[in-house]
Amino acid sequence: MASSSDFRNALGISQEEAAMLLGVSRSQFSLFELGKRSLPTKAMVAYVEMWSYVQEKAKLDVDKNTHTALDKEKIKIALEAQLAEMQYKQKFLQKKIVATEVKYKKAQAALHLVDYLRNKSNPNQEDFIRLLEMNARKKMEKHGVVAQTKLQIELKSVVSYHKQLLDF
């Protein structure tokens, strides 16, 4: 027979839970695991019965090597949800990329306006022109090539993940 920690792992329980199942104290079960003490007869019989049952079920699970119909349905639902989420993310990112490009072009146009206003040389508008230029440069930085590239990369990763889900 395998070790009692194998028994606990096969059952997916803690040392304390195993002791409770067998009707012994945790310290008594701990000593049993260490090979320093045996279990009472009643606990040992229960231990062997549970171990045999779990081992038999494990063999059947390995022999089947397939998912149950319920598992398949759960997987299908989860995949469909992931596919829907990826489609939403793709559309969202595509819209965000377009919006970012539009905002960048507007900021460029504002800078062209700044150049025009400066060439016109109206000293009364200099504060307004500086403010307009500062705002345009901030928008260009925020929506520039770096931001657009990050969004493109994120979109490519979402598309790739979506394709992997379809192949699954």
Q: How many angstroms separate the CA atoms of 154 and 149, rounded?
A: 9
Name the residue type at position 30: S
pLDDT at 87: 94
Q: Does the pLDDT of residue 124 top 70, yes or no?
A: yes
Q: How many angstroms separate the CA atoms of 53 and 41, rounded?
A: 18
pLDDT at 121: 74
Q: Which residues are within 8 A (CB) of 108 and not within 5 positions of it... i.e. 6 or more apart?
A: 136, 140
Contact 151, 93 (CB under 8 A): yes
pLDDT in tens, 91-119: 999 999 999 999 999 999 999 999 999 99
Tokens of 146: 């770096």
Q: Which residues are within 8 A (CB) of 161 and not within 5 positions of it... i.e. 6 or more apart?
A: 86
Q: Does the pLDDT of residue 2 top 60, yes or no?
A: no
Q: How many angstroms separate the CA atoms of 69 and 75, rounded?
A: 10
pLDDT in tens, 34-84: 889 999 999 899 888 888 888 887 777 655 555 677 888 888 899 999 999
For residues 126-136, average pLDDT: 94
Share of the chain above pLDDT 90, in %: 55
Confidence of residue 12 (pLDDT cuts 50, 70, 90): confident
pLDDT at 64: 56
pTM equals 0.57
